[in-house]
């Protein structure tokens, strides 16, 4: 329950981020007991490389402070969307913060916005959408995998996001559309599907005139096909972007300055270097606006 509001003290039921190092971040649900593999209730003990943590000991601690582990310490942090994205349980490939930020901004989301998302996946983007549209907005999120839809619904509830703010449905939107979302009722649609063009007609139906759509696709061929269908479905100002974020490692470097007489002088300076290997591609983001003068349609336009 530590997502929708800022908290300073850890309470039972909170989701806490246990921060050991940049590459070692874990989400913890603050409950004194947990069910083990055999299905029996046992004490909730979390094992780390620095030793064990009795999770119930976190209750009453302050966020942003250190907790002792049996062989060291860790930081307990309040969850943010960025931290959650870095450590959430992967049920699918996920979207990362640079893409998520751009999607939320380009969809022009704000408190009160009504949004449709397909598929839900691991809920990485959903958390940022919910943070932006709450308290009176709506997110209708769909996944064609029943287990994933259930897991996401449970996770959102655990984080304090419930109906009517968020509705998770198990549904193949390409075949069946976004029912029960009413026609021309949402401000934005986000699609991350293998064949997004099959869902564009349905998106056209639920979007209000002037509403925004975003489509995430890893391959160029998908983008070309998507754009063709967008233009035939009353969308305009299509734009395709790719964004990355280079992380730079800040360090002091000592460097020899060679003189012409063969002597060397040591120079020390502050610099930052990009990593030798970085994620070079996530996906292409395609954005478009539904023409404000498009007439409302009752059934989706089917484009073969």
Where is the binding site, in residues? 122-125, 143, 192
What is the number of other CB atoms lying within 10 angstroms of the CB of residue 278?
10
Structure tokens given for 129 = 């959408």
What per-residue string of b and e applies to 181-206 under the rule 16 or more CB within 10 Å gives b?
Answer: bebbbbbbbbbbbeebbbbbbbbbbb
What residue has token string 């304090």?
Answer: 160
Closest CB to other proteins among residues 193, 214: 214
CB of 93 to other proteins, least distance (A): 20
Rounded to a whole number of angstroms, the minimum distance from the CB of residue 1 to other proteins is 12
Binding site membership for S-adenosyl-L-methionine: which residues?
A: 122-125, 143, 192
**Whether 218 contacts 281, CB under 8 Å:** yes
Strands 114-118 and 24-29: unpaired
- Between 53 and 76, name the residue whose CB sits nearer to other proteins: 76
Binding positions for other proteins, rule: CB under 8 A: 4-6, 8, 19, 22, 62-66, 75-78, 80-83, 97-98, 100-102, 104-106, 108, 110-112, 128, 131-132, 134-136, 209-210, 220, 223-224, 227-228, 238-250, 270-272, 274, 284, 286, 292-293
Apex CA 102: angle with CA 142 and CA 7, to 5°?
75
What is 6-75 written as a DSSP string?
Answer: --SB--TT-EEEEEEETTEEEEEE--SEEE-TTS-EEE-EEEETTEEEEGGGGTTPBTTEEEEETTEEEE
Shortest distance, position 42 Cβ to other proteins, whole Å: 29
The CB-of-236 to other proteins minimum distance in angstroms stands at 8
Report the residue number, 55 or 285, with the smaller CB distance to other proteins.
285
Q: Which residues pair with 303 in a beta bridge?
A: none
Tokens representing residue 244 in the block = 């990355």
- In angstroms, the CA 142 to CA 35 distance is 29
Compute the least distance from the CB of residue 300 to other proteins, in Å. 21
Please, are residues 11 and 32 in contact by the beta-carbon 8 Å criterion?
no
d(CA 36, CA 114): 39
Name the residue nearer to other proteins (CB basis): 56 or 61.
61
Min. distance of Cβ 101 from other proteins in angstroms? 4
Whichever of 134 and 159 has its CB closer to other proteins, that residue is 134
- Sequence-ordered list of residues with C-beta below 8 angstroms from that of 167, at least 6 positions apart, any chain: 138, 139, 140, 141
């Amino acid at each position: 329950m530590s997502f929708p509001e800022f908290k300073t003290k850890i309470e039972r039921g909170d989701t806490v981020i246990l921060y050991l190092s940049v590459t070692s971040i874990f989400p913890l649900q603050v409950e004194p007991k947990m069910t083990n593999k055999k299905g029996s209730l046992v004490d909730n003990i979390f094992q780390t490389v620095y030793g064990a943590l009795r999770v119930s000991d976190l209750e009453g601690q302050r966020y942003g402070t250190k907790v002792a582990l049996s062989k060291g310490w860790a930081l307990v942090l309040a969850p943010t969307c960025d931290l959650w994205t870095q450590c959430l349980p992967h049920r699918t490939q996920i979207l990362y913060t640079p893409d998520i930020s751009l999607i939320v901004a380009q969809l022009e989301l704000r408190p009160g916005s009504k949004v449709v998302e397909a598929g839900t996946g691991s809920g990485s983007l959903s958390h940022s959408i919910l943070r932006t549209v709450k308290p009176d907005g709506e997110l209708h999120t769909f996944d064609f995998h029943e287990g994933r839809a259930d897991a996401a619904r449970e996770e959102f509830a655990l984080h304090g996001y419930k109906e009517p703010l968020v509705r998770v449905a198990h549904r193949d939107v390409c075949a069946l559309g976004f029912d029960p979302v009413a026609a021309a009722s949402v401000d934005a649609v986000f699609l991350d599907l293998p064949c997004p063009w099959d869902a564009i007609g349905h998106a056209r139906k639920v979007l209000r005139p002037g509403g925004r759509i975003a489509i995430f696709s890893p391959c160029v061929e998908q983008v070309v096909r998507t754009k063709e269908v967008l233009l035939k479905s009353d969308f305009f100002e299509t734009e395709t972007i790719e964004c990355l974020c280079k992380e730079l490692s800040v360090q002091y470097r000592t460097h020899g300055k060679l003189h012409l007489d063969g002597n060397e002088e040591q120079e020390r300076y502050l610099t930052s270097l990009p990593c030798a290997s970085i994620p070079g591609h996530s996906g292409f983001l395609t954005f478009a606006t539904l023409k404000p003068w498009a007439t409302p349609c009752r059934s989706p336009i089917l484009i073969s």
